[in-house]
A and B are shown apart, each in its own frame.
Chain A
Amino acid sequence: MVNLPSLLCVDRNVEMIKIRNYKLINKVKVLGIVLPLLLITLSMKVWADTQYLTTEQFLTEHLTSEIPKPSTLWLVKDLVKPAKKILGHAPYQLRQRYWQQGNKTAWILEEIGKVEFITAGFVVEDGKIAQVRVLTYRESRGGEVRYSAFLKQYFGAVLKENNFLSQHIDGISGATLSVRSMTRMARLALYYDALSKQKE
C-alpha cells in the first residue's frame, strides 16, 4: 500500500534539495570567480598615494627649466592671521618655501581634503593664478580635482580684499571637500605671493 501524499512529499523534498544544490553550486561559482580575482588583485604591485608630479617636475614644467634656489617666507606675528582665516586652521608650515622667477612665484602647498592631504603646486604671476597642478592625491574619492578641465577654472583668479577668490569655482559631485581644499590652497598661494612681494 503506497501512501500517495507522503510519496509526493518525498518528491518535493528531492526537488527542494535539487534547488538548494543548484543554488549552492551557483553561489560557489560566483565566489569561485570573485575570490581568486581579489587575490590576484591584492598580489599585484600596489601604490595608493598617487604621485602625479614631483616638485621638481612641477617647477621645471611651469616655472622655469633651471630651478632657482628656494626662498623662505616666515609667517611671523600678524602675517599668520589671514592665513589662519583662509584655511580655517593654523598653517602647517610657519616657514613656507617658495621659488621665484621674475614676476612669477611657485608654491607647493598641502591641505586635507576629506581625511587625507592633497599636495598641490601653484604658480602665481602678477598676483594672478597662472598654473595649478595636483602633485599627490591620497583620498579614495574626489580625484577629479586633478583634471585640467577643473583646474583651469582657477587661472586668472586674484585675491579680493576679503581674501576670497575673484571668480566662482564650479564644484564636482562627490569631491566637494577636495574642491574646497584646492580653493583654500589657491587663496593661500595668492596671499603668500602678496607677502613675498612685500618682503622685497
Chain B
Amino acid sequence: MKVKVLALSVLIGFASSGVMAASIEDKIDLLQEEIEQLKLRAEQADKRSAGGIQGFVDRTTIGGYGELHYNNYRGDTPAGKKQKNDEIDFHRFVLFFGHKFNDWISFKSELELEHAIAGDGKAGEIELEQAYLDFALNNHYNVKAGLFLIPMGLINETHEPPTFYGVERNEVEKRIIPSTWWEAGAGVYGEVTEGLNYQVNVTSSLNANKFKTGFADGVRGGRQKVGKANAENLAVSGALNYNGIPGLTFGGAFFTGETGQNVNSGVDARLTLWDVHARYQKDRLDMRALYAKGHLSDAAELKDATGINAAEDFYGWYAEAAYHVWKHGEQSFAPFVRYEKWDTHADVPNNVVRNNDNKNNIWTIGANYYPHPSVVVKADYQKFDDPDGSKGDKRLNLGLGYMF
C-alpha cells in the first residue's frame, strides 16, 4: 500500500514539473489574467461604494439641522404688560430622511421637533414638514406629490440655520409669508432655460377661521399643517427664479386660493399672496431683500362671522447685508445688518378697527461666526420701533446652529 502511494506521488510530481517547465510564459499569462480579474473586482467594489444603486444603505439618506436660541427681552413694554422672562429654547431639531427607489423615483422628508419637548400642555410639537415623492423626468419637467413646502420667499424652502443671518428668522417671512409653510398636493417643476426655474403646485389651502383674532401675524394662524385639514378649498402656488449668474438669485412667487373652507356661508376669503426677492453673494458680500404682499377678500364678512380682525391688504419687506470680514480656511466671521418693516393691517374693512400695533419695523445688527461652513454661532441685537407685546422693544439673541 505504502509503495503504491509513493509511486503515485512521484508520478504526479514528475507530471506537474513537466507542465511547469513546458511554459513559464503561460504561467505569467495566467497570473496576468488573475491580476486583471482582481483589478476589475476592486474597481467594481469601488464603484459600489461610490454610489451605485446597490444596497439599501446606498439608497437611503439621513440629514438634519438644529438650532438652540437664547432670547434676552429688554426695553419698553406696552402699559400694563409685564416684561417677558428671558428664554432659552432648543427651537428646532430636524431630521431629513430620503430614499431612492430607482433612478427617477425618490422620497424626501423632514421631521421636526419644535421647542425640544412635545405632548399635552408641553411647549413644543412634532411636525412633519415635508414628505413627498419626487418623480424626476428631465431638466424641464419633473413632478412631485405629497406634503411639501410652498416655494415662496427665501427662507421657506431653505431654512437651515447656517444659511441665514441672525438668531431668529426675519419677521416678514413669519408674519406676511407664514414660514415654515407646507401644504399637501402635487406640482411640476423644472428649468425653462439655463438659470430660469419654475414651479407650479395645486395644494391644500389655509383656513381663514383659524387666523388669530388680532391678525398681528397675518394669515399665519391659518396654517392647517395637513393634520386632518379642511380640504374644501384648493390653492394654486408657483415660483419663478433666476440664478444663472453665480451668486445672484432673484425671482417671485405667488399663492392664491380660497381660505373660507366652507365654514361660514358667504365667506370665500380668497387669499392672494405674492412676493419678489433677491439675493446676491459676491466674494465676501452677501445681500438679500424681499417684498411680500397679501390680499384677502371677504375680510368684512370674515369679521362678522368669526370676530377675526382681518385686513384686506397686508405687506412687509426687508433688506439685509452681511460681509465676511474674516476668512481662514473653512472658517469665517460675518457681521450683518437688517432692516425690516411690516403692516398686517395696511388696509382694513369698515367693520375692523385698525390696530397700530400690527405695524412695526426692526433694526437688527449682529454677526454669524462659522467654525465650519455647516456650523454657526450667532449673536445679534434687535431694536423694534414699537414694543413687540410683552417681549418689549429691545432684544439680545444668542444662537447655535448646524446642518448635515
Q: Which residues of A contact B (CB under 8 A)?
A: 12, 15-16, 19-20, 23, 27, 30, 34, 37-38, 41-42, 44, 46-50, 92-95, 110, 112, 114-117, 138, 140, 143-144, 147, 149-150, 153, 162, 164, 168-176, 180
Contact partners of B283 in chain A: CB under 8 A: 168, 170
Does A19 lie within 8 Å of B265, measured CB to CB? yes
Does B243 lie within 8 Å of A93, measured CB to CB? no
Which residues of B from 238 to 260 have beta carbons under 8 Å from A?
Answer: 241, 243-247, 249
Tell whether A170 pairs with B106 under 8 Å between CB atoms, given A41-B135, A41-B143, A140-B136. Answer: no
Tell whether A171 pairs with B50 under 8 Å between CB atoms, given A34-B202, A46-B104, A115-B61. Answer: no
B163 at the interface (CB under 8 A from A): yes
Bound together, the chains give a CA A150 to CA B194 distance in angstroms of: 12
B262 at the interface (CB under 8 A from A): yes
Does A149 lie within 8 Å of B245, measured CB to CB? yes
Does A171 lie within 8 Å of B281, measured CB to CB? yes
Contact partners of A41 in chain B: CB under 8 A: 135, 137, 141, 143, 188
Does B134 lie within 8 Å of A140, measured CB to CB? yes
Tell whether A44 pairs with B42 under 8 Å between CB atoms, given A93-B50, A172-B243, A180-B373. Answer: no
Does B279 lie within 8 Å of A173, measured CB to CB? yes
Does A48 lie within 8 Å of B246, measured CB to CB? no
**CB < 8 Å neighbour of B139 from A16, A50, A138:** A50
Does A149 lie within 8 Å of B137, measured CB to CB? no
Bound together, the chains give a CA A142 to CA B63 distance in angstroms of: 17
Does A48 lie within 8 Å of B51, measured CB to CB? no
Name the CB-closest residue of B to A20. B262
Does A173 lie within 8 Å of B243, measured CB to CB? yes
Does B281 lie within 8 Å of A42, measured CB to CB? no
Bound together, the chains give a CA A42 to CA B141 distance in angstroms of: 11
Contact partners of A48 in chain B: CB under 8 A: 103-104, 136-137
Task: Pull 16 A–B residue pairs with CB atoms less than 8 Å apart, ordered by A.
Answer: A12-B265, A16-B265, A27-B234, A30-B234, A34-B186, A34-B202, A46-B136, A46-B137, A47-B104, A92-B50, A114-B63, A140-B142, A147-B194, A171-B247, A173-B154, A174-B241
Contact partners of B98 in chain A: CB under 8 A: 115
Contact partners of A23 in chain B: CB under 8 A: 232, 262
Query: Whole-angstrom distance from the CB of A50 to the nearest CB of chain B?
Result: 6
Tell whether A110 pairs with B50 under 8 Å between CB atoms, given A44-B137, A143-B191. Answer: yes
Does A162 lie within 8 Å of B158, measured CB to CB? no
What 0/1 pattern do residues 268 to 294 of B give for CB contact below 8 A with A? 000000000001011110000000000
Contact partners of A153 in chain B: CB under 8 A: 246
Contact partners of A176 in chain B: CB under 8 A: 163
Name the CB-closest residue of A to B277. A173
Bound together, the chains give a CA A200 to CA B366 distance in angstroms of: 52
Bound together, the chains give a CA A173 to CA B100 distance in angstroms of: 24
B195 at the interface (CB under 8 A from A): yes
Contact partners of B49 in chain A: CB under 8 A: 92
Does B246 lie within 8 Å of A149, measured CB to CB? yes
